[in-house]
Structure 1
Amino acid sequence: MKTFSELHQAFLAKQSRFATYKVNGLNIIALSNVYHPDIESSSLFLLKPIVQRYQNLKTKKKRLLDIGCGTGVVGLSLSKYVEDLYLSDVGKNAVLCARINSFINFKSAKIYQSDLFTSLPDLLFDVITFNLPLLHQNIESTVELATNDPNGQIFIKFVEQLSLYLEPQGEVFFTYSSLGDLELIKKIPECFDVEKVAIERDEETGIERYVFKLIMN
């Protein structure tokens, strides 16, 4: 059985290569060092419970923001449920990738290079999604922008700023895992109702990953 370190290095090697995917009827290009939306990815893990909730929507959500969008697969897959789609990522490669995928799939999206909310327009969103980096380790290479959250600081900054960008009764969906510090979930401000809407356990490693939903009350 391979160690977690060996599995992670193999994972990073895969992310460093160019690849193409077919996801939810979309043609997705994954540039090197941009998180790949393969079948086991946390991108698709995040998408599943959101689609389950939104597939029978009678009225579209007004604005959706997908932070850390990578290839854009989450936001582009959800575009049919919203009037206006916003995608953002801190990485230049990811922003370029999201723009390419938006163009080749004939999807309209406003795309920004932004560290969380820093460079985004001053708007309120009905839905915010974030496939968070799940490893609480230092970032040592470009590819680790999508996987590593040093000491959980990205998560902490994210939840501390959320209320400034969310409509009343707005929804937030984000990934988390047992690789991170689960105690940090307690740092979510009290103005949010917190619900764990998905959980999955890897039998080989014992690692669990989750999707949390927040509603601002």
Structure 2
Amino acid sequence: MRISDVSCRVIAESMRYAIVRHINYLTIVLNPDLVYNPAEDTFLILDHVNLKGNCSVLDMGTGCGVIGLSLARSCVSVLGADINPYAVFYANLNALINNVRNFKAIVSNLFSEIKGVFDYIVFNPPYLEDTAKDVLDLSWAGGTGLVKRFLREARNHVRDKIFLVVTEQMFERLTWDHYRVRVVAEKAFFFEKILLLELTPTL
């Protein structure tokens, strides 16, 4: 499914059920039935990932774009990528609403449409260890298998560091070959703990 296939439907149908949130001094519009609604994992990144200067960023799994748009205020360029075309629509819409001109979002299945190398990659992946039945399911399902694939492919697209959110269970299941790992922050809930990791590629 391409973004052009859903744009008219998003405008005509989805926008009727859109909500408006004010996050990190941004006005964010999204339909929470179609796009991940920013939650504690999002705020963990917003609170602890501060990138500045002449740097390029890939916001993998951009969703509504709030992370990428926040980083675009202090970085030269940010590319958002998401397999969900509805997410890409809303991310680009939010860039327009907030007059952020150095951010754009594209449809990509992880790195399938990504070209080039970025100084930093930020990824807040879906945690559910379920099998996705369609594109929308992929916004919530993926888990350890998805992150394993991401870790294999990301090394070819990053110069400096990767910031990745995982659950404590995912952290224990994954192997971290080719990366130096630092826990930047964590947040505990009654049912799980999430970790924000800083990954530095090694030879």
Judge same fold: TM > 0.5, yes or no: yes
Q: Say which of 198, 210, 215 aligns to 2:185.
A: 198
> Gapped runs of 5+ residues in structure 2?
1-16
Give the number of aligned pairs: 184
Structure 2 CA distance for aligned equivalents of residues 61 and 171 of structure 1: 15
* CA deviation vs aligned residue, 1:82-113 (integer Å, no higher than 9, x gap): 11110110001001010100111001213210
* CA deviation vs aligned residue, 1:174-202 (integer Å, no higher than 9, x gap): 11113x5333331x332x21111111111
1:184 is matched by which residue type in structure 2? R
Conservation of the 8 A alpha-carbon contact between 2:60 and 2:82: yes
Structure 2 CA distance for aligned equivalents of residues 181 and 171 of structure 1: 20
- RMSD of equivalent CA atoms: 1.8
* Corresponding residue SS for 2:99: coil
Structure 2 CA distance for aligned equivalents of residues 50 and 23 of structure 1: 15
1:112 matched to 2:106? yes
* Corresponding residue SS for 1:181: helix
Alignment partner, residue 22 of structure 1: 22
Structure 1 CA distance for aligned equivalents of residues 61 and 22 of structure 2: 20
- The structural deviation recorded for 1:156 is 0.8
Conservation of the 8 A alpha-carbon contact between 1:159 and 1:189: no
- The structural deviation recorded for 1:81 is 2.0
Identity score, percent: 23
Conservation of the 8 A alpha-carbon contact between 1:135 and 1:147: yes
Aligned pair in 2 of structure 1 residues 143, 44: CA closer, same or farther (>3 Å)? farther
Structure 1 CA distance for aligned equivalents of residues 84 and 40 of structure 2: 19
Alignment partner, residue 156 of structure 2: 164
* CA deviation vs aligned residue, 1:132-185 (integer Å, no higher than 9, x gap): 1112122246543222115x2211110001110011xx110011113x533333
Structure 1 CA distance for aligned equivalents of residues 172 and 111 of structure 2: 24
Q: Say which of 133, 146, 153 aligns to 1:154.
A: 146
1:34 matched to 2:26? no
Aligned pair in 2 of structure 1 residues 142, 165: CA closer, same or farther (>3 Å)? closer
Alignment of 1:126-141 (within 5 A): 126-140=119-133
Conservation of the 8 A alpha-carbon contact between 2:131 and 2:141: yes
2:170 is matched by which residue type in structure 1? D
Alignment partner, residue 10 of structure 1: none
